[in-house]
Structure 1
Amino acid sequence: MELTHGMAAVVTGGASGLGRASAEALAQAGLKVTIFDIDEEAGEAHAKAIGGTFARVDITQEQSVVAGFDKARAAHGQERVTVHCAMTSRRGKTLGWDKESGRYKRLATEDYAFGAEGILVSSYRVASHSALGMANAEPLNEDGERGCITLTASVAAQDGQIGQVIYGSCKAGVNGLVLPMARDLMDIGIRVNSVMPGIFATPLMLGMKDRNPQMWDQLNASVPFPKRLGHPEEFASLICEIARNSYINGHQFRLDGAIRMPPK
């Protein structure tokens, strides 16, 4: 799919980290980007910087997502590229030792459900609402392509660590969405893929550099090659290539410097 000047895109979580880099890269390619995020100050500022639009969107709320797409389409027309980076989750082991009671304590089902909503359900929500809009748009090329949706999974989908029972399994679920959804949408001309980033130098990770420089050095050294955390721009580069290359469909990409996560 040719990324033409003025084509519309939506990036969730576009106020920071991987989403911010993706929004910037798409804007540099000539697209009009709408950022979905709950951080209004950072989202508005980044949208202004890249010549785009900001919509305050809570990905866990159906009507918030619908309203976000309405605002994006009113500003730039039907999005042809959607990148879903936003998420929310909780952390904990299936069973953890409770010092107060001297017994094992189970991770609450409510905590698991919160993560499932914030990772897996929200991925379906964003992707399906975007696909519905794309389906009613005219094809872009002779292949009949109408758009490209890219979800963000994680290497934890395959290498889930201790304490990541929610995160790892729900990110695996995101990967599980890809092929059946791509097949559901194949006759409409909408592609669906996912990216599994490894350890990236997002603001959350960069904070460790000053707080715990020893741990920071260990994290960098743990990556086979190159021996550093990934740059958000490298994630964004792959996002753009997935959008451009019409033969990439139903695929899950690891982007991790060949790292394989240990149990902890």
Structure 2
Amino acid sequence: MNLKGKTALITGGASGLGEATARRYHAHGANIAILDMNDERGEALVKELGSNVRYFNGNVTDEEGVASIIEATVNAFGALHICNNFAGIGSAHKTYDKKKDAPHPLDVFKRVLDVNLTGTFNVARLAAQQMASQDPVTEDGQRGVITNTASVAGYEGQIGQVAYSASKGGVIGMTIVIARDLAQVGIRCNTIVPGLIHTPLFDTLPEHIFTALENTVLYPNRLGKPDEIAMLAQQIVENDYINGECIRMDGGIRMGPR
């Protein structure tokens, strides 16, 4: 699927990996709908990138809210062809904390799964409904592409990542099922599985910790760049034979327990 003239909904698109993907898609001629909760960043991107970009404040877990944003996107651009789910949250709690003599807070566990797993599925299913109603845009009868985002923690979660790892493992697990469910209507589904990517969060770390993290990467010995994730997102859209895949983008890292 060629990006030019297509419309992409990007959750978490106001910063980090989502912003990098929005910028890359926009540079290749796509219309962009950003779903995020950061009004300042979202509105700044609209102002910078121009008239074929829209920002919507929304929560990925809100069924009616997401449906209305998809409707507004179609009203603005005429269709929806691409959905990239980047929105997510993390937590740091052990299953049982010996020092505190306390189990993992159940409300925190539920919240992480609600946003990262249920929220991803909510957006994907509603995007699929819209895509399925549209005419095909390729000779193969393709109507759309959904790309979700997991994490290497979905395979090798570290101590304290039980909620995050469970949520990302769920995203990995549902990838092939969504692809199978949507094959009959010409919609592909894949998942990007990032390793350590240099988002602004890492800039707050002391230099020795930052360097130690870089040294855990097999090669090259550095954190990944957001645009490298965006490049993969672009390739998934443009290569029509990529379907049902979970693609690690991690420099060969395999996470240790800590």
1:90–1:114 CA contact under 8 A, matched in 2 = no
Q: Shift of residue 67 of structure 1?
A: 1.9
One-letter amino acid of the structure 2 residue matched with residue 156 of structure 1: A
1:35–1:47 CA contact under 8 A, matched in 2 = no
Q: Shift of residue 206 of structure 1?
A: 2.1
In the alignment, what sits opposite 2:19? Answer: 20
Please tell me whether residue 188 in structure 1 is matched to residue 207 in structure 2.
no
One-letter amino acid of the structure 2 residue matched with residue 41 of structure 1: E
Q: Secondary structure at the match of 2:138?
A: coil
One-letter amino acid of the structure 2 residue matched with residue 37 of structure 1: D
Q: Secondary structure at the match of 2:185?
A: coil
In the alignment, what sits opposite 2:214? Answer: 220
Q: Secondary structure at the match of 2:183?
A: coil
Given candidates 195, 198, 203, the residue that maps to 1:201 is: 198
One-letter amino acid of the structure 2 residue matched with residue 3 of structure 1: L
Q: Secondary structure at the match of 1:186?
A: helix
What percent identity do the matched residue pairs reach? 38
Please tell me whether residue 232 in structure 1 is matched to residue 229 in structure 2.
no
Given candidates 173, 176, 190, the residue that maps to 1:176 is: 173
In the alignment, what sits opposite 1:95? Answer: 96
One-letter amino acid of the structure 2 residue matched with residue 230 of structure 1: G
CA deviations over 1:41-92 (Å, ceiling 9, x no partner): 1011112322211011111222221122122111112210110000124331
Within 1, Cα distance between the matches of 2:92 and 2:63?
24
Within 1, Cα distance between the matches of 2:36 and 2:65?
11
Within 1, Cα distance between the matches of 2:3 and 2:69?
22
In the alignment, what sits opposite 2:126? Answer: 129
Q: Secondary structure at the match of 1:185?
A: helix
Q: Shift of residue 109 of structure 1?
A: 2.2
TM-score (norm 2): 0.96
Q: Shift of residue 20 of structure 1?
A: 0.3
One-letter amino acid of the structure 2 residue matched with residue 248 of structure 1: I
1:89–1:116 CA contact under 8 A, matched in 2 = no
Please tell me whether residue 76 in structure 1 is matched to residue 77 in structure 2.
yes
1:89–1:118 CA contact under 8 A, matched in 2 = no
Q: Shift of residue 111 of structure 1?
A: 1.7
1:201–1:231 CA contact under 8 A, matched in 2 = yes
Within 2, Cα distance between the matches of 1:19 and 1:158?
22
CA deviations over 1:210-234 (Å, ceiling 9, x no partner): xx11101111111111111000000
One-letter amino acid of the structure 1 residue matched with residue 40 of structure 2: E
In the alignment, what sits opposite 1:2? Answer: 2
Q: Secondary structure at the match of 1:79?
A: coil
1:55–1:72 CA contact under 8 A, matched in 2 = no
Within 2, Cα distance between the matches of 1:214 and 1:248?
39
One-letter amino acid of the structure 2 residue matched with residue 109 of structure 1: L
In the alignment, what sits opposite 2:36? Answer: 37
Within 2, Cα distance between the matches of 1:179 and 1:60?
22
Within 1, Cα distance between the matches of 2:63 and 2:234?
27
Within 2, Cα distance between the matches of 1:256 and 1:10?
24
Greater mean deviation of Cα atoms: 148-157 or 68-77:
68-77
1:89–1:114 CA contact under 8 A, matched in 2 = no
One-letter amino acid of the structure 1 residue matched with residue 13 of structure 2: G
In the alignment, what sits opposite 1:63? Answer: 64
Within 1, Cα distance between the matches of 2:149 and 2:49?
22
Instruction: Report the aligned-residue RMSD.
Output: 1.1
Q: Shift of residue 98 of structure 1?
A: 4.3
Within 1, Cα distance between the matches of 2:173 and 2:78?
30
Q: Shift of residue 137 of structure 1?
A: 0.2
One-letter amino acid of the structure 1 residue matched with residue 156 of structure 2: D
